[in-house]
Amino acid sequence: MTGAIQYAKRRFESARAAIGAETGSETPESTTDLGAAGIHFQLWLLAGLVLFPILVTVVVSTKQQGIVTSLPDLLPGTYAVENYREAIVDYGFGRFMWNSLLMSVVIVVGKLVVSVLAAMAIVYYRVPYKDLVFLFVLFTLLLPVPVRFVPLFQLMNDLGWSNSLLAITVPYIASATTVFILRQHFLSIPTSIVETAKLDGVGPVKFTLQVLVPMSRGVLVGVSIIMFVYAWNQYLWPLVIIDSEANQVAQVGLQLLQGDVQGGQLSWSLVMAGSVLTLLPPLALMILFRKPLLETFAIQQK
């Protein structure tokens, strides 16, 4: 963070130096530098606006009570270790996190497998009316998940899957977005590569594993990150279908941290500690894989 600030400072100073050197009249170069400083200011402002609530969350998670009524309340407290320990150990938040992780990984892996196969069929195989099929797949994007809750709930009960990992993963394994992104990527792979493989007698399995997947690595990683964050943030469906605390996921588990509300002392600091904990895995992934993530979306701009 400080590095970035210093970088902005340097830019600004070099802009000032340029103006000084050019004795008065503004050159195009110096205006662009000033313009860049302006853009940096805007970026910092916007980033600050987005980051502010998260900063408050982090600060509150270190306090005893966590009630913010005045500015001095925004100074970090000294109860950090205590709060996080209580959340993880006493309230079993580690368990929720583990469940969330398991759910997200299963969803991401399932999505990748299904979507790669679906996109392959759509791009490389002669399927009758396949454009129509693809359109139909895209149409499912128009149906928000909550619309499907009632029949889905019934289905899960009939299958005897309620209150299990299957119930919170299987309904999410098909993904129109992923199929779409992968289809676009497969279409950008030169057909001559596919045809070479055909002429060489490379079978579909070998082609998928040794050509298609390695050539799509960047896109697959990028899509995985997005899907992981999406899965990790599932709230409503797990709340509906999971009724035992042991199988619950972190997003719903946050509510359980509220604890003894009837005692009149909702412990905000504990809830915030939990929030920060749930924030960490997606954040770590984003930081780790930011490059392929950006490439996934840059692909459209080629």
Partner 1 sequence: MTTITLRNLRKEFDDVVAVNGLDLTVRDGEFLVVVGPSGCGKSTTLRLLAGLETATDGEIRMDDRDVTGTEPKDRNVAMVFQNYALYPHMTGRRNVTFGMNAGGSFTDEEINRRVAEAAETLDITDLLDRKPQAMSGGERQRVALGRAIVRDPDAFLMDEPLSNLDAKLRIQMRAELTQLHAELGTTTVYVTHDQTEAMTLGERVVVMDDGRIQQVDPPQSLYDFPANRFVAEFIGDPAMNMIDVAVEEGVAVHDAFRIPLPAGNAADETGSGSETESLADPDAGDRSHAVLGVRPEDLHLARERPDLGETEFDATVDVTEPLGDSLLVHCSVGDATFKMSAEPRSSLDPGGTVSVTYDSERLHLFEPETGEAFYHSATAPAPSDRIERVVTD
- Residue numbers of the site for partner 1 (CB under 8 A)? 190, 192-193, 195-203, 206, 210-211, 214-215, 217
**What is the nearest approach in angstroms of partner 1 to the Cβ of residue 206?**
6
Q: CB 97 → partner 1: shortest distance, Å? A: 35
274, two tokens: 């939990």
Q: Which CB atom, from 80 or from 215, has the smaller least distance to partner 1? A: 215
* Residue 216 CB, nearest approach to partner 1 (Å): 10
Cβ-in-10-Å burial (0-12, 13-18, 19+) of 141 comes to: exposed
CB nearer partner 1, residue 13 or residue 195: 195
Report, in angstroms and rounded to the nearest whole number, the Rg of the chain calculated over CA atoms: 25
Give the residue ranges of DSSP H helices in the chain.
Answer: 2-21, 28-60, 80-85, 93-124, 130-139, 149-159, 165-169, 176-188, 191-199, 204-207, 213-215, 217-232, 236-241, 250-256, 268-288, 290-298
Smallest separation, CB 108 to partner 1 (Å): 22
Would you say 211 or 266 has its CB closer to partner 1? 211
Sign of the torsion formed by the C-alpha atoms of 147, 172, 244 and 253 = negative
Half-sphere exposure of 35 (CA within 13 A, CB side): 7
Helix axes 93-124, 268-288, angle to 10 degrees: 40
Residue closer to partner 1, measured from CB, 112 or 242: 112
Q: Residue 280 to residues 12, 47, 169, 215, 274: CA-CA distances in angstroms?
A: 34, 18, 21, 30, 10
Nearer to partner 1, 99 or 296 (CB): 296
81/199 with CB nearer partner 1: 199
Minimum CB–partner distance for residue 208 and partner 1 (Å): 13
Q: At its nearest, how many Å lie between partner 1 and the CB of residue 209?
A: 12
Shortest distance in whole angstroms from residue 191 CB to partner 1: 9
Nearer to partner 1, 200 or 260 (CB): 200
In the bound complex, what is the minimum distance in angstroms from residue 131's beta carbon to partner 1? 15
- Half-sphere exposure at residue 104, Cβ-oriented, CA atoms within 13 angstroms: 25
Query: Rounded to whole angstroms, what are the CA distances from 15 to 12, 23, 27, 32?
Result: 5, 13, 11, 8
Nearer to partner 1 by Cβ, of 95 and 198: the residue is 198
- With CA atoms as reference, report the closest residue to 87 among 269, 282, 232: 269
